[in-house]
Amino acid sequence: MIVDCAIYRHGRRTEGPADFSDALDEARAIGDAFVWIGLYEPTEDEFDLVTEEFSLHPLAVEDALKAHQRPKLEVFDDSLFVVLKPVVYEPDSDSVTSGELMIFMGDSFVVTVRHGEGAPLSAVRHRLEAEPDVLEHGPTAVLYSIADAVVDHYLEVAAELQTDLEVLEAEVFSPGGGGARNTASRIYRFKRQILEFRRASGPLAMPVARLAGVGPFGRGVPFVNESAQPYLRDVSDHLTRVNESVEGLDRLVTDILSAHLAQMSVRQNDDMRKISAWAAMAAVPTMIAGIYGMNFDHMPELHWEWTYPAVILLMVALEIGLFRLFKRRGWM
């Protein structure tokens, strides 16, 4: 359950008790230290001790255990509860998957709970431990670094989606490219991946704005140092870029799908015109042959010597005339 547990003082990792409850007591006794505990998909029984020791709110604990939450920020008396959704994009399968990352932050502690893959906690911890000047700002530095890593990865995923969408767009509008049977399904799958991305990045805008004190949230929130708000505003700016990019991708995919359906409709109309033209050309000799197949007695041309070749020539002339007419109108 516990991936890592450490005490940080003046931005540097220090040796502490193996038991996290003792580590929290020691961090609070020191006064300028905090403990950071990382957990991966804990069960309810495993999380009970953490809940008791850190006085976590039961509603937040329930969300952390059940997962499947939207990105959000909850402010409680003794802690903050932040939900982030890291995303992973696999270009080979055109799939966007999201994990969940919960952060409890309070007096001298940070508890992170990870569900799924893609959460950059290990890399964030290692980077912070290499930058003690940042880590010395306490739990706020951890919160900022995690949010910054998640949002920066959003930018990378958005760029990869943009590149793949340009490739798909070129295929759709290439000569004969939009006629593939699976083109519409590929476009629809791509739209579903963008929707999954939007579920992760869109709802995060308000929580980050609250943390950064942007707009109507100018007062900030408890447990967040005001000195960190400029850095959190930078995260908010990056997230705004991500959401604008995702909105643009969504509109572009919709336009590509509409254009593809319009192409299919035009092709079907062209096919119907060709079928109609060939049917009209086939109808003329059929009609003439049908008339002569009635075997009427009072048809004077039946006894003419050149009737048969004349009728054949008439059919050929009509066929040539119809072919030129349909060709000139673009039906063939």
pLDDT of residue 215: 65
CB hemisphere CA count around 4 (13 angstroms)? 17
100: CB partners within 8 A, 6+ apart: 67, 68, 69, 83, 84, 85, 86, 114, 115, 116, 119
User: Pairing state of beta strands 72-75 and 33-40?
Assistant: unpaired
pLDDT of residue 302: 67
* Percent of residues, the chain, with pLDDT higher than 90: 20
Largest CA distance in the chain: 124
- pLDDT at residue 203 greater than cutoff 60: yes
Task: Please provide the DSSP assignment of 202-232 as one string.
Answer: GGGHHHHHHHHT-GGGTT--TTS-GGGHHHH
Give me the torsion for CA of 270, 274, 279, 281, rounded to 10°: 140
CATH of domain 2-264: 3.30.460.20
**pTM as predicted:** 0.77
Q: How far from chain centre, in Å, is Cα 299?
A: 76
- pLDDT at residue 328 greater than cutoff 90: no
Q: Report whether 27 contacts 54 (CB < 8 A).
A: no
Flag the least confident range among 88-102, 158-172, 192-206, 213-227. 213-227
d(CA 110, CA 23): 12
67: left (phi > 0), else alpha (psi -120 to 50), else beta?
left
- pLDDT at residue 180 greater than cutoff 60: no
- Centre a 10 Å sphere on the Cβ of residue 230 and count the other Cβ atoms it contains: 10
Q: What is the domain class of 268-328 according to CATH?
A: mainly alpha
* Cα R_g (the chain), whole angstroms: 35
Q: Do domains 2-264 and 268-328 have the same CATH topology?
A: no
Q: Tens digit of pLDDT for each residue in 77-129?
A: 888 999 999 998 887 777 888 888 999 998 888 999 988 776 667 888 888 88
pLDDT of residue 82: 94
- The mean of the pLDDT values for the chain is 83
Closest CA to 69 of 47, 54, 55, 85: 85
pLDDT of residue 217: 57
Q: Which letter, b or e, does each residue of 145-181 get, where b requires 16 or more Cβ atoms within 10 Å of its Cβ? A: bbbbbbbebbeebbeebeebbeebbeebeeeeebeee
Query: Is 62 or 299 the better-scoring residue by pLDDT?
Result: 62
d(CA 8, CA 32): 9
* Percent of residues, the chain, with pLDDT higher than 70: 90
Beta bridge partners of 36: 6, 110
pLDDT of residue 105: 92
Phi, psi of 103 (to 5 degrees): -125, 120
Closest CA to 3 of 108, 80, 94, 112: 112
Query: Is 127 or 28 the better-scoring residue by pLDDT?
Result: 127
- pLDDT at residue 281 greater than cutoff 70: yes
d(CA 146, CA 235): 10
Instruction: Indicate the domain borders of the chain.
Output: 2-264, 268-328
- pLDDT at residue 176 greater than cutoff 90: no
Q: Tens digit of pLDDT for each residue in 210-238?
A: 888 876 655 668 888 888 888 899 999 99
